[in-house]
Amino acid sequence: MTKKVEIDWKNLGFDYMKTDLRYLSYWKDGNWDEGVLTEDNVLHLGESSPCLHYGQQCFEGLKAYRTKKGDLQLFRVDQNAKRMQDSCRRLLMPEIPVETFIKACTDVVKANEAYLPPYGTGGSLYIRPMMIGVGNSIAVKPAKEYLFTVFCMPVGAYFKGGMTPVNFMVSDYDRAACYGTGQQKVGGNYAASLIAHEIAAEKGFADCIYLDPTTHTKIEEVGAANFFGITKDNRFVTPKSSSILPSITKYSLLYLAENVLGLEVSEEDVYIDALDGFSEAGACGTAAVITPIGGIEYKNKLHVFYSETEVGPITRKLYDTLTAIQIGDIEGPDGWITKL
């Protein structure tokens, strides 16, 4: 690595930063073109592009990490590739082959290596693949042309403080409908969630908890992260629902809780009025990593789990194990790490 950039690595938040190169590929007449790395971070789109009007777009989020030896590695990139294909199928967009997705991410990380935070700073390089429907058409129909891009930026903690407990409030709004697109990573879900987040932030909460859209009795998501709880008898429990995003971090934790920590694990209904059964709770996701949930406010009452200031022992162990794999301190299960 020759280039050096002046960045305060220890105080990175979760913000956009322009890095040197991004990948761009165009789909037309049934084919993806070769794809290029480009310096230009501005997209030139037709005014009638379906992504702008009808939200025909999807995206992903994953991270690259620097190991102690200084090597670069990606965490479970194949899972993001497959989830993006699922989003594409749901929105009638052309799928990006898994190999193309992985190569695009790899090329972008290598091209922006100078922006990858040093080992030990807690930072990582956040990678944002995105696909949008473009071209000239105004009818509510799938676009005739598509753009796939991958860009990246260095990031630190998503929720202020990182691995310190934060409080959430239950929202009256839904982010997704029950047979809608909650399982896919598509922009419309996030547009629908902005108001709920804003209300939670105004009231001093880190974010909001969404309940199931049909009965409003079960926990679905924690902002842009999945929920998990540790029951008083030490089971790792996470909600099962067809309208939440299948979090890659959550499935990684399910595996680690069972196979490394030896806990019983379960995906099941998590009722908002049964929080007493949990001794610890957390939000998990690529951006959130594991963020301990101090308490959840529901019907004007704050339910505190382990503590509003201290991290519970199982949450801590899960965090230490997951992050050690991500930064290469310990070996992960087969196929989790792609070394660049």
Residues at the interface with ligand PLP (CB under 6 A) = 61, 221, 224-226, 245, 247-250, 285-286
- Find the shortest distance in angstroms from Cβ 4 to ligand PLP: 30
In angstroms, what is the minimal distance from the CB of 246 to ligand PLP? Answer: 7
Is 185 labeled as catalytic in the residue annotation?
Answer: yes
* Minimum distance from residue 280 beta carbon to ligand PLP (Å): 19
Identify any residues that bridge with 28 across adjacent strands, giving them in sequence order. 31
On the CB side of 340, CA atoms within 13 Å amount to 27
Six-digit token string for 54: 């009808």
Contacts of 165 (CB under 8 A, 6+ apart): 291, 292, 293, 294, 295, 306, 307, 308, 309, 310, 311
Q: Strands of 145-300 (E only): list them.
A: 145-155, 166-170, 207-211, 219-222, 226-231, 235-239, 264-268, 278-285, 289-298
Structure tokens at 154: 């260095």
Pick the closer one to ligand PLP by CB: 145 or 212.
Answer: 212
Cβ neighbours of 168 (radius 10 Å): 27
Cβ nearer to ligand PLP, comparing 19 with 249: 249
Q: Which is nearer to ligand PLP, 85 or 249 (CB)?
A: 249
Q: Which of 4, 63, 144, 185 is catalytic?
A: 185
Asked if 126 and 74 count as a contact pair (C-beta separation under 8 A), the reply is no
- Reference 246, options 266, 270, 264, 225; nearest CA is 225
Which residue of the chain is nearest ligand PLP when measured via CB?
A: 285
Tokens of 164: 């310190």
Give the residues across from 133 on adjacent strands.
146
| Tokens 């998590």, residue located | 270
Residue (308 or 320) nearer to ligand PLP, CB:
320
As measured in angstroms, the least distance from the Cβ of 283 to ligand PLP is: 9
What is the smallest separation between the CB atom of 250 and ligand PLP, expressed in angstroms? Answer: 6
Q: How far is the CB of 245 from ligand PLP (least distance, A)?
A: 4
Please give the structure tokens belonging to residue 173: 């709004």
Please say which residue, 142 or 187, places its beta carbon nearer to ligand PLP.
187
Helices (H) and strands (E) in the chain, counts: 6, 18
Nearer to ligand PLP (CB atom), residue 134 or residue 327:
327
Q: Of 287, 280, 245, 335, which is closest to residue 123 (Cα–Cα)?
A: 287
Catalytic residues: 185
